Amino acid sequence: MSADAGFKEAVDSFAAALALERGLAEKTQEAYLRDVRALIAFLSRRGRSSVNAVVRTDLTAYLETLHQAAKRASSRARAFTAIKEFFAHLREMRFIASDPMEGLEAPKKGVALPKILPEEAMRRLVESVAGTDPRDLRDRAMLELLYGCGLRVSELCDLTLESFPEGAEIVRCTGKGSKDRIVPLGHAAGEALARYLASARASFDRGNRGERHLFLTRLGRKFTRMGVFKLLKQRAAAAGLDASVVSPHVLRHCFASHLLAHGADIRAIQEMLGHASISTTQVYTHVDQARLGEIHHKYHPRA
């Protein structure tokens, strides 16, 4: 290999290694190459013309630009990994004599806080679907269950008529790892579901009594995840909300965060969400702490 390889030769070699040896997903390969090419554009502006001319201060300067550009912590962490893999490959292939990334520490990812809508926005979204035609009754029941029970979109799609034991105010759903769990069915969700079953579902099953899925499309088929996404975006836009920040998972986050804000026990929320580990659920305590911080800053005389 060239002892003074140009950037193109080095990147081409790295791209081939990613494709043939690393077993990474195609999107991950593309992301790594984007990160490396962005670095090389930076290095070129600093007057570097080959990988052998790159020194550690070049790399620390580039990583600092990512931080100053307010790149997300996850994006900075991925860029660090891509660059580290790139130079490790160059060292292995003897493009460079020493690795300038050696000893550099990866940026901390931090806690990725989930997106949450205010309670008023959630109320507006759900109550905006107030019609009595079959589609409105179906969509209102879907919204009430997503927000009122904290269901994943796949869990909502998989619900059947047998998911609601007669006379019991609960819903049975199957989550990740095919694990069953029971979630309380609130008053609003229960009423919306009852209206849908009494007056609307028969309009969707097209006389196919063997179809047991709870929510059906106009073609009488089980909803897909993308079908629910599309429906929710349309309803959010109609309610005057920014549809780009509304998704089934955001409603699940709202379910957990709003419960916590009103004093619910974190362990109970864990059970209702179906999280295997309490550490997954504890992200909502960070959300609530952020809300408390805003309140303190707004109202405390010494804040």
Q: Which candidate in 152, 201, 213, 258 is catalytic?
A: 152
Residue 286 annotated to the active site:
no
Q: Which candidate in 32, 62, 147, 284 is catalytic?
A: 284
Q: Which candidate in 135, 181, 221, 249 is catalytic?
A: 249
Q: Which candidate in 78, 140, 252, 253 is catalytic?
A: 252
Residue 181 annotated to the active site:
no
Q: Which candidate in 34, 176, 225, 296 is catalytic?
A: 176
CA-based nearest residue to 145, from 183, 174, 117, 175: 183
Say which DSSP state 53 is in.
G
CA dihedral 110, 114, 115, 118 (to 10 degrees): -120
Residue 176 annotated to the active site:
yes
User: Phi first, then psi: what are they for 134, rounded to 5°?
Assistant: -55, -40
Share in percent of the chain as helix, strand, coil (round to 5): 60, 5, 35
Instruction: In whole angstroms, give the CA distance from residue 262 to residue 219.
Output: 40
Q: Which candidate in 181, 275, 286, 291 is catalytic?
A: 275
Residue 252 annotated to the active site:
yes
Residue 152 annotated to the active site:
yes
Q: Provide the 10 A C-beta neighbour count for residue 229.
A: 15
Which residues carry out catalysis?
A: 152, 176, 249, 252, 275, 284
